[in-house]
Amino acid sequence: MPAAQILMPAPMADDVVAALDDRFMLHRLWEQDDREGFLRSVAPDIRGLAVSTLAGRIDAAWFDRLPALEIVASFGVGYDNVDAGAAAGRGIVVTNTPGVLDDEVADLAVGLLLATLRRIPQADRFVREGRWADGAFPLSPTLRGRRVGILGLGAIGKAIAHRLAAFGVSIGYHGRSRQDGVDYRYYVTTVALAEASDVVMAVVPGGSGTRHLVDADVLAALGPDGVLINVSRGSVVDERALVAALLDGTIGGAGLDVFENEPQVPEALLAMPNVVLLPHIGSASHATRAAMGRLVVENLTTWFDEGRALTPVPETSRR
């Protein structure tokens, strides 16, 4: 039987490309001079898509053009770049890469919280710019005695909570429903969580259901000593409301690994001394990205060898 034909719209890691090239007939769309013409020529035979966020939105328009498509293997635990509902309606399975990046993102989230509260990047610049000789660095806020609210107590949220417990902080959470077997206090709304917290850490998936979940009301409830940490998706936070809240002192600071229009970051945020900004690096270690890439390959391989996917997303898990 000839190898299944897989389309990769945008470049992925070299080891992912090599592994897929070895197992399938891989088409690299980004290498084509006439991408539209090339896509027309191969579209009827494409049975699998390997995508990352660099591929842009994978939606019904894509599915309409690929009549033989069976599976979309997405690189990342978040898959809001893929219209999983539209895929499910066409019998197409969508997979992501959960589990293998939970610890890495949780580590980064705690590091970002500490960096934001203790102003570690600002202190580093203070030394590099030779200002230490002119006087001591200003005192910073502390993690001691903080109440941390985790917005989205999934696998990554639980890993963050486990780490934070060692710091002796109190922990609460908000999600779609209360979780059995969880000792942390549950709050029914995001505003209630923010009112009871000094730190809100956003760890929910992206997508229409969580768009601007952190809005002006949540930020106001968090208060002038409060800190927002976002390691989920930029769409989860109303960025305009966040900028306004930081400018007028509604909240005390923010640590952001994600933004609404990446890689564009609002100029106002760049100028703020009470904000720590990272370039979406939550899972960006060599080991974790390699594990994510292997899972993309394994999902495609298992699907075409055995007719099952290892990590289907909930919308398509029945396929």
Q: Please identify every residue annotated as catalytic.
A: 233, 262, 280
Residues 141, 301: Cα–Cα separation, whole Å: 50
Burial (CB < 10 A; 0-12, 13-18, 19+), residue 168, is exposed
Please report where in the chains the tokens 């020529």 appear, as a residue: 41
DSSP letters spanning 79-134: -TTB-HHHHHHTT-EEE---STTHHHHHHHHHHHHHHHHHTHHHHHHHHHTT-GGG
Contact 227, 198 (CB under 8 A): yes
Of 311, 262, 303, give the one whose Cα is nearest residue 77.
Answer: 311
Omega of the bond leading into 263 within 30 degrees of 0 (cis): yes
